[in-house]
Structure 1
Amino acid sequence: MALQIRLFQNKDSRKEYGGKWYGRVVSTGEVDTRTLARNISESNSVTESDVKAVIAALVAEMKRQMQNGKTVVLDDFGRFHLTVQSEMTDTKEEYNLKKHIRRIICKFTPSARRNQLTHRLEREMCDGVKLKRWQFDE
């Protein structure tokens, strides 16, 4: 199956890109842990419940490590780390963690390798993706 792309027109006429068209990915739904576990178990010698147990343990351990300030690196998958959205203050003394931290965010960066010929980063998760224009755009 191909990644569905829907076209949108920028409505902001104050900018040089006002009225121009751009594409966005159309979500075709979600996949949950149970479905992933079942699919993985069908292509391997482990059971669905074993896969679910490993995924649950992985999530719990990743959370523990990130809450301790670590970046979690899953080889050939990517990196996860926590960051914050913070309000600014005029002085260091004014800054209050409870008051000025708006939220905590988990960031993900997919793994990448540099192509030796082009020197461009290639992301494993994005290799081989086929694109298709969303049929309801016409």
Structure 2
Amino acid sequence: MLKYKLYQDNRSNAQHKGNWYAHMNLDGTMDLDELAAHMSDHGTPYSKGVICGVLNDMVGCIKELVLEGNAVKLDNLAIFSVGIESKPANTKEEFNARTHITGYKLRARATGGSINARLSQLASINQMGEYSHDEAETAENSQDANNGE
């Protein structure tokens, strides 16, 4: 069950200032060890330790492969790749990778059974209430940071 809270966008520069939006309310974050424990509880013959080892190796390999310029597809989950952030150069000749490439991002694009349309069919959702003032400020700061990307 997905849970959300309502918040009002009160940012001074908001296009829809005063409007209300849903914001996900996460129950927590599971690390690889907890994921391995969860997986081992699903009737698999593999222990939590074996699963955790495989997952840790998978993470390392995905990092290695995307940093080599590959996209890595985990069927029905996501395609992982690296994206580039850059600032403009006036001409092609002026472009210099050392000064114009400003950063890199790990991208994950939904695929297969995880595409947005399919998630919309599978998701069930429940309202948890409204954000408190502190939560609304955190959401506002998060939106401001995301809009700056």
Structure 2, unaligned stretches of length 5 or more?
133-149
* Percent identity between the two aligned chains: 22
Normalising by structure 2, report the TM-score.
0.75
1:25 & 1:67 partners in 2: Cα distance?
Answer: 31
Give the AA of the match of 2:125: L
2:95 & 2:20 partners in 1: Cα distance?
Answer: 42
Q: 1:74 to 1:16 in 2, by over 3 A?
A: closer
Matched positions, count: 130
Give the AA of the match of 1:110: A
- Residue 7 (1) aligns with residue 6 (2): yes
Normalising by structure 1, report the TM-score.
0.80
* Residue pairs, 1:44-55, within 5 angstroms: 44-55=44-55
Indicate the residue corresponding to 1:96 in structure 2.
Answer: 96
Worse-superposed segment, 16-25 or 58-67:
16-25
1:15 & 1:135 partners in 2: Cα distance?
Answer: 23
Give the AA of the match of 1:28: D
Indicate the residue corresponding to 1:27 in structure 2.
Answer: 26
Query: Where is the helix percentage greater, Structure 1 or Structure 2?
Result: 2
Q: Is the CA contact (8 Å cut-off) linking 2:5 and 2:127 kept in structure 1?
A: yes
1:23 & 1:91 partners in 2: Cα distance?
Answer: 43
2:120 & 2:35 partners in 1: Cα distance?
Answer: 19
Q: 1:51 to 1:126 in 2, by over 3 A?
A: farther
SS at match of 1:34: helix
Q: Is the CA contact (8 Å cut-off) linking 1:89 and 1:95 kept in structure 2?
A: yes
Give the AA of the match of 1:95: F
SS at match of 1:17: coil
Structure 1, unaligned stretches of length 5 or more?
114-119
2:56 & 2:120 partners in 1: Cα distance?
Answer: 25
Q: CA RMSD in A?
A: 2.4
Query: Where is the strand percentage greater, Structure 1 or Structure 2?
Result: 1
2:125 & 2:33 partners in 1: Cα distance?
Answer: 27
Q: 1:121 to 1:56 in 2, by over 3 A?
A: closer
Give the AA of the match of 1:27: L
Using the TM superposition, give the Cα deviation of residue 15 of structure 1 relative to its aligned residue in structure 2, in angstroms: 6.1
Q: 1:89 to 1:95 in 2, by over 3 A?
A: same
Using the TM superposition, give the Cα deviation of residue 18 of structure 1 relative to its aligned residue in structure 2, in angstroms: 2.4
